[in-house]
C-alpha cells in the first residue's frame, strides 16, 4: 500500500485506514485475498472444528495451546471467576431497567465499568503482566454472566447463577435459558464462539488497543471495545441477516426480491465483507454447522445464498460478494434457541477474549497511539474578532 506525504509533512492515508499497518501483532491475522485467518500460528477454522473454547482462550492469552493438565487448570480458574461481586449483582436490576430497549449490550457497558471498579482494576500502565492477565480473565469470565443476567432481568426473570462444572459455551446457554442445553447445541455455539474470538484489527479491537495505549485499566479498554461493537456496521448484523430471510419469506420470492434489491443498489445484509474477496471461511464453517441440524430453515438459507451469488454474477459480473459470518451465524444461533437480541451480545461473549489478548499485547508497548488529522475547514487561522 502506498501513502503520500503532504506539503505540511503529514501522511495522507486511505479513508477508514483501509490497509494501513499500524503495529505488529502476534495475536493473529486475516488474509482476505486467500479467504483464511488464524489465531497465533493455527487456522482459526481448524481450531473451531477440533478444540474447545477454553483451549483457544488459553492460546490467545498465553501464546500456546494447553496440554491436558493446563486445560483442566485453566478451565477451573476461569470458571471460578464467573460469579459477580455483590456490588455488581445488586446494581444489575437498575442497569437492566435503565438500558430498557437498548438491550443487554448497552447495559453491559455500564456493568463492566462497575465490575472494574468493584474489582479494583488499576491502569495497565501501572501493573505488571501477571496482574494485567488476571484482570482480563476476571472481566472475560464475567461477560457471559452479565449479558445473560441483563437479558433475563429485562424480561422480568431472575438471573441464573453460573455453574463451575459446565464449559464456557454450555454455561452461557444454561444461564441464558435456565436449563442445561443438549450437547449438539453446546458444540454448535462453541464453534461459533471460537470462530469469532478474533479477526484482525477490526474496529472494536483497534478501539481496545487505542485505549490500552493510553495505559487505562482493562475495564476501560473493554467498555470502549463494546461501544464499537454495538454499531450495526460492525457487530450488529446477525439478526439483520435473519431479517433478510424473513423478508423473502418463501422460495418463490427469492429471485424477485434479490433482483429488486440488487438493481436498486441496496445492501443485502449477511453478504459482503470489508476484508474478504473470497468466501468468508467463518461462513463456510457455520454453514456446515447449520447443515448438521438440517431442516427447512437451513435449506432455505442455503438456497438464498446460492441465488444471491448467481444473480449478482448475472447483474454485476466481476463483483465478488459472498456470505459473511453474520449470515449463517444468525441461522446457527436461531437453531440453538438464542433470541435475536442476544446475537450481537453473544458475539461480544466471544470477542472479549480476542480484545483481552490485544489489550495484553498493546500494554507491553509504552507508546500512545496518536494519529493526525488533515484540517479541511474554512480558511487559514485568523485573528479572533473583538
pLDDT tens per residue across span 133-162 = 999 999 999 999 999 999 999 999 999 999
Check: CB of residue 257 under 8 Å from CB of residue 243.
no
Per-residue pLDDT for 2 more than 60?
no
pLDDT value of position 55: 98
pLDDT value of position 17: 79
pLDDT value of position 9: 55
Per-residue pLDDT for 323 more than 80?
no
Residues forming a β-bridge with 12: 4
Lowest mean pLDDT among 87-96, 352-361, 363-372: 363-372
pLDDT value of position 238: 66
Check: CB of residue 205 under 8 Å from CB of residue 358.
yes
Per-residue pLDDT for 324 more than 80?
no
Percent with pLDDT over 70 in the chain:
95
For residue 11, report the phi and psi dihedrals to the nearest 5 degrees.
-100, 125
Check: CB of residue 181 under 8 Å from CB of residue 319.
no
Q: What is the pLDDT of residues 268-297, one digit of tens each?
A: 777 766 676 677 888 889 999 999 999 999
Count other C-beta atoms under 10 Å from residue 260's C-beta.
10
Check: CB of residue 190 under 8 Å from CB of residue 173.
no
Contacts 24+ apart (CB under 8 A), 287-294: 287/323, 287/328, 289/188, 289/191, 289/192, 289/328, 289/332, 290/328, 290/331, 290/332, 290/335, 292/184, 292/188, 293/184, 293/188, 293/335
Mean pLDDT (whole number) for 165-191: 97
pLDDT value of position 7: 45
Confidence class for position 354, pLDDT limits 50, 70, 90: very high
Asked about 62 being catalytic, the answer comes back as no
Region of residue 75 (phi > 0: left; psi between -120 and 50: alpha; otherwise: beta):
alpha
Domains of the chain as residue ranges with CATH: 42-231+344-363 (1.10.580.10), 238-335 (1.10.230.10)
Per-residue pLDDT for 189 more than 90?
yes
pLDDT value of position 86: 97
Tell me which of 54, 190, 305, 326 is the catalytic residue.
Answer: 326
Mean pLDDT (whole number) for 86-98: 96
d(CA 165, CA 39): 27
- What are the start-end ranges of the H helices in the chain? 44-50, 53-62, 68-79, 86-99, 104-118, 129-154, 168-177, 183-195, 203-213, 218-229, 238-248, 254-264, 281-293, 296-315, 325-335, 343-363
Across the chain, mean pLDDT equals 91
Mean pLDDT (whole number) for 124-139: 98
Mean pLDDT (whole number) for 102-112: 94
Residues forming a β-bridge with 42: 39
Helix (H, G, I), strand (E, B) or coil at 385: coil
- Cell numbers for 102, please give them: 437498548
d(CA 341, CA 345): 8
- Cell numbers for 89, please give them: 449483582
pLDDT value of position 372: 85
pLDDT value of position 273: 67
- Cell numbers for 264, please give them: 436498486
d(CA 323, CA 302): 10
Tell me which of 58, 199, 273, 322 is the catalytic residue.
Answer: 273
Helix (H, G, I), strand (E, B) or coil at 5: strand
Q: pTM higher than 0.85, yes or no?
A: yes
Asked about 326 being catalytic, the answer comes back as yes
Amino acid at each position: 500500500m502506498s501513502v503520500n506525504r503532504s506539503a505540511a509533512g503529514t501522511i495522507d492515508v486511505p479513508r477508514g485506514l483501509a490497509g494501513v499497518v499500524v503495529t505488529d501483532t502476534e495475536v493473529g491475522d486475516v488474509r482476505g485475498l486467500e479467504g483464511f485467518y488464524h489465531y497465533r500460528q493455527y487456522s482459526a477454522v481448524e481450531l473451531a472444528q477440533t478444540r474447545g473454547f477454553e483451549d483457544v482462550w488459553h492460546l490467545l492469552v498465553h501464546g500456546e495451546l494447553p496440554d491436558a493438565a493446563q486445560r483442566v487448570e485453566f478451565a477451573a480458574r476461569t470458571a471460578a471467576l464467573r460469579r459477580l461481586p455483590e456490588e455488581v449483582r445488586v446494581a444489575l436490576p437498575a442497569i437492566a431497567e435503565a438500558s430498557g430497549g437498548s438491550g443487554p449490550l448497552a447495559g453491559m457497558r455500564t456493568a463492566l465499568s462497575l465490575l472494574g471498579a468493584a474489582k479494583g482494576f488499576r491502569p495497565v500502565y501501572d501493573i505488571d503482566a501477571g496482574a494485567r492477565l488476571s484482570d482480563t480473565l476476571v472481566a472475560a469470565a464475567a461477560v457471559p454472566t452479565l449479558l445473560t443476567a441483563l437479558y433475563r432481568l429485562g424480561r422480568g426473570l431472575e438471573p441464573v447463577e453460573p455453574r463451575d462444572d459446565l464449559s464456557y459455551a454450555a454455561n452461557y446457554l444454561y444461564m441464558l435459558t435456565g436449563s442445561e442445553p443438549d450437547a449438539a447445541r453446546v458444540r454448535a455455539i462453541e464453534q461459533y464462539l471460537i470462530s469469532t474470538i478474533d479477526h484482525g484489527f477490526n474496529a472494536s479491537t483497534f478501539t481496545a488497543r487505542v485505549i490500552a495505549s493510553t495505559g487505562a485499566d482493562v475495564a476501560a479498554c473493554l467498555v470502549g471495545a463494546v461501544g464499537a461493537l454495538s454499531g450495526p456496521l460492525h457487530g450488529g448484523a446477525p439478526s439483520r441477516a435473519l431479517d433478510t430471510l424473513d423478508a423473502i419469506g418463501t422460495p418463490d420470492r427469492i429471485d424477485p426480491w434479490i433482483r429488486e434489491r440488487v438493481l436498486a443498489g441496496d445492501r443485502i445484509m449477511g453478504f459482503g465483507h470489508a476484508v474478504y474477496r473470497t468466501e468468508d471461511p467463518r461462513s463456510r464453517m457455520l454453514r456446515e454447522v447449520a447443515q448438521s441440524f438440517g431442516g427447512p430453515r437451513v435449506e432455505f438459507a442455503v438456497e438464498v445464498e446460492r441465488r444471491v451469488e448467481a444473480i449478482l454474477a448475472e447483474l454485476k459480473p466481476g463483483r465478488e460478494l459472498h456470505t459473511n459470518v453474520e449470515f449463517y451465524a444468525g441461522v446457527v444461533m436461531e437453531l440453538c434457541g438464542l433470541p435475536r437480541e442476544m446475537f450481537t451480545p453473544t458475539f461480544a461473549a466471544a470477542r472479549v477474549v480476542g480484545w483481552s489478548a490485544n489489550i495484553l499485547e498493546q500494554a507491553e508497548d509504552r507508546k500512545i497511539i496518536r494519529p493526525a488529522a488533515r484540517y479541511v475547514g474554512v480558511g487559514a487561522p485568523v485573528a479572533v474578532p473583538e
